[in-house]
Amino acid sequence: MVSKTDKSYLIAKARELGFVLFGTSKAEYLEKDANFLKEWLAQGKQGTMSWMNHHFDKRTNPSLLQDNCKTVISLAFRYFPRFPQPVDGTYKIAKYAYGKDYHKLLRKKLKVLVDILIDEFGSESSRGFVDSAPIMEKAWAARSGLGWIGKNTNLINRKEGSFLFLCEILTDLEFDQDLPGKDLCKTCTQCIDACPTNALDQPYQLDSTRCISYMTIERKEEINPEFHGQLQDWIFGCDICQDVCPWNRNSVSHDEPKLDPRIELLKMTKPSWEYLLKEEFDELFAGSAVKRAGFEGVLKNKKALTKPVL
């Protein structure tokens, strides 16, 4: 059996699975983050995402989510694409949704690590989470030394940038704690300046109701006419605040084939999208996060890409 404190062994196994960042933090109440979240919710900046109001106590205290939780293990997996969409001449989807849904992919990888914690470290209570429970992923990632939460509200690592999937393991084992990430945004405001809908109404805070990703994925109703013509051809999600971030200039692409887009997607032009049939949509995005919006949702988003004629 591996020593219960031998974190280096677990890190090596995580890297074998493709995780590029690994950090640990003591499981405890997130007082500062809880206060921020409470005020943010009170301001209604979550929009129609009512689920964010649920399980507040569990969201801010992992000990209420997992029995005898002592450590939060945070991990990150690259998703910067090997084969990006053309820059011009087509409607755009967020890079994270190019290939197969990442939830299933990372859940299987986390299970390997959880099994190691149980079988080789002697854990009696360990569980992995991939955007599937009320956990403040970015807060824990920052506390675990994976990076810092930038002015665009994304987790940023000075080497890897921000095109990263985050996930966690809650465990009853105790490990040495990593130092929190240091904020390196400094005076930069490129993400704030580049947002066409002013969703980053102040540094480090996102107004979801003005965010293109929210409007094209989470919001099911028609997009407010106020934002028509401001979506800059984003039809599902948005990467603007990440694309302009200086820390993403040297982003390294993933090497996971399941995250690669179908070749048909890379060939899509605006006319292709205009005449896309539901059957073609279902085939093109089978197993993709784009199915969350659905064919009708994409049609709704497309209506808002141009300004209405007055």
Q: Which residues are catalytic?
A: 131
**Per the structure block, which two tokens stand in for 278?**
């539901």
Taking the C-alpha atoms of residue 243 and residue 78, their distance in angstroms, rounded to an integer, is 15
The alpha-helical segments, DSSP class H, found in 22-120 are 31-42, 56-60, 102-119
Q: What are all long-range contacts of 268-275, with beta carbons under 8 Å and residues at least 24 apart? A: 268/85, 268/90, 268/91, 269/89, 269/90, 270/89, 270/90, 270/91, 272/90, 273/90, 273/91, 273/235, 273/302, 274/302
Q: Provide the sign of the torsion angle of the four alpha carbons 193, 163, 181, 43, taken in this order.
A: positive
Exposure of 116 by Cβ count < 10 A (0-12 exposed, 13-18 middle, 19+ buried)?
middle
Taking the C-alpha atoms of residue 228 and residue 211, their distance in angstroms, rounded to an integer, is 13
**Residue type at position 284:** L
Specify the 3-state DSSP secondary structure of 167: strand
